[in-house]
Amino acid sequence: MNAVSNPVLIVAGPTASGKSACALDVAEEFNGAIINADSMQVYAELRILTARPPQADEARVPHRLFGVLSAFEACSAGRWLKMATAEIESAWAAGRLPIVCGGTGLYIKALTEGLSEIPEIPKEIRARAGALYDRIGGEAFRGELAALDRDAAARLPSGDRQRLTRAWEVVTHTGASMASWQAKSSAPPLAARFAGITLTPPRQDLHAACAARFERMLAAGAVAEVRALLGLGLDPGLPAMKALGVPELAAHIRGEMSLDEAAEKAKIATRRYAKRQNTWIRTQMGGAGDGYKAGAAVFSAKYSESIREEIFSFIRQFLLTTRR
């Protein structure tokens, strides 16, 4: 393939919108390779709670970056970007269409627009940030951050330990806010042409899908999965420990709440996460201005056979245009 015309398709949407099923059908129709863009599906220990594709689906078409890291590790956007660009180039070399599938907006933005080159943060500053958050709690920590980076503090919820401490680390070490660094994004890492498929089901449909999927996770062994994760003795600040359902089921395992209460809290957390994902999709992928520079097809529905042919038609046109 010509480097300038190399196509990359992105399949995005909130959790439980049918992204994985869509990507699988597209990969089979267009000789594709599916590349994970979900920040939690990279962890090997969390197959059930992150709704990773089942092994039978992984055997049908190439799946990359699923379960490739240990929960002992933290997968940053920069680390994911290096792995993803390598997998995209491998797909091109094999004559396959790279299909980047996931709902982590920062990963998709990094791939399509480049990643801000924030200086490496010294370990001692990271340790200070984590210790401060744990000592004074999320709300008080957000107050401390507000004195240094008002925009980040206003944007991030008090329970988002990872991003709050990251914002504090950056402004403390560099003297500049996270937003100012993000405004200095480097060039996109690939000479590629992007198009997007976005799935945005109506709120009530999405809520029902989230609840039903969590019940299926419980039936598939989610409690045992979290019990095994806790048995590893991981740092509670690691990303895998923050995955949807993990804090709630961990509290149940510790005897702090019933399974029904834990499940309800996990469902609420999932709905809130889906809302944040939808907000990103509306502003970044066709919902405002140009959205994706290469264009995006937005479907206000959960993926199903009823929209499959329309999606395929959009992709065929994209590929024809790309080859010119």
Asked, for residue 256, whether it belongs to a domain, the answer is: no
Beta carbons within 10 angstroms of residue 279's beta carbon: 13
219 exposure class (CB count in 10 Å sphere: 0-12, 13-18, 19+)? exposed
Which carries the bigger pLDDT value, residue 283 or residue 195? 195
Give CA–CA dist 113/12, Å, rounded: 16
- What pLDDT digit, counting tens, does each position of 191-203 carry? 899 999 999 999 9
Q: Are residues 134 and 209 in the same domain?
A: no
- What pLDDT digit, counting tens, does each position of 86-134 carry? 999 999 999 999 999 999 988 998 899 888 777 888 989 989 998 999 9
Residue 294 pLDDT class (50, 70, 90 cuts):
very low
Residues of the chain by 3-state class (helix, strand, coil), percent to 5: 55, 10, 35
What pLDDT does 284 receive? 74
Q: Are residues 72 and 206 in the same domain?
A: yes
Asked, for residue 257, whether it belongs to a domain, the answer is: no
Q: What is the CATH number of the domain that holds 132?
A: 1.10.20.140
Asked, for residue 231, whether it belongs to a domain, the answer is: no
Mean pLDDT of the chain: 90
Q: What is the CATH number of the domain that holds 30?
A: 3.40.50.300
What pLDDT does 185 receive? 62
Q: Are residues 47 and 132 in the same domain?
A: no
Mean pLDDT for 18-36 is: 97
> In this structure, what DSSP letter does residue 63 have?
E
Mean pLDDT for 149-164 is: 89
Give CA–CA dist 17/3, Å, rounded: 32
Could you give the number of structural domains in the chain?
A: 2
Residue 323 pLDDT class (50, 70, 90 cuts):
low
Q: Are residues 102 and 19 in the same domain?
A: yes
Q: Are residues 81 and 135 in the same domain?
A: no
Q: Are residues 174 and 208 in the same domain?
A: no
Q: Are residues 73 and 214 in the same domain?
A: yes
What pLDDT does 301 receive? 92
Q: Are residues 167 and 140 in the same domain?
A: yes
Asked, for residue 85, whether it belongs to a domain, the answer is: yes
- What pLDDT digit, counting tens, does each position of 214-246 carry? 999 999 999 999 999 999 999 888 899 999 999
Give CA–CA dist 253/272, Å, rounded: 23
φ, ψ for residue 204, nearest 5 deg? -65, -40
Q: Does position 287 have pLDDT exceeding 50, yes or no? A: no
Q: Are residues 110 and 58 in the same domain?
A: yes
Asked, for residue 140, whether it belongs to a domain, the answer is: yes
Q: Are residues 19 and 57 in the same domain?
A: yes
Q: Which domain holds residue 139?
A: 123-182
- What pLDDT digit, counting tens, does each position of 64-77 carry? 999 999 999 989 88
Asked, for residue 177, whether it belongs to a domain, the answer is: yes
Asked, for residue 1, whether it belongs to a domain, the answer is: no
What pLDDT does 286 receive? 53
Which carries the bigger pLDDT value, residue 159 or residue 227? 227
Give CA–CA dist 242/231, Å, rounded: 15
The secondary structure of 256-314 as a DSSP string is SS-HHHHHHHHHHHHHHHHHHHHHHHHHHSSSSTT-STT-EEEESS---HHHHHHHHHH
Q: Does position 290 have pLDDT exceeding 50, yes or no? A: no
Q: Are residues 130 and 60 in the same domain?
A: no
Residue 324 pLDDT class (50, 70, 90 cuts):
low
Asked, for residue 43, whether it belongs to a domain, the answer is: yes
Q: Are residues 163 and 311 in the same domain?
A: no
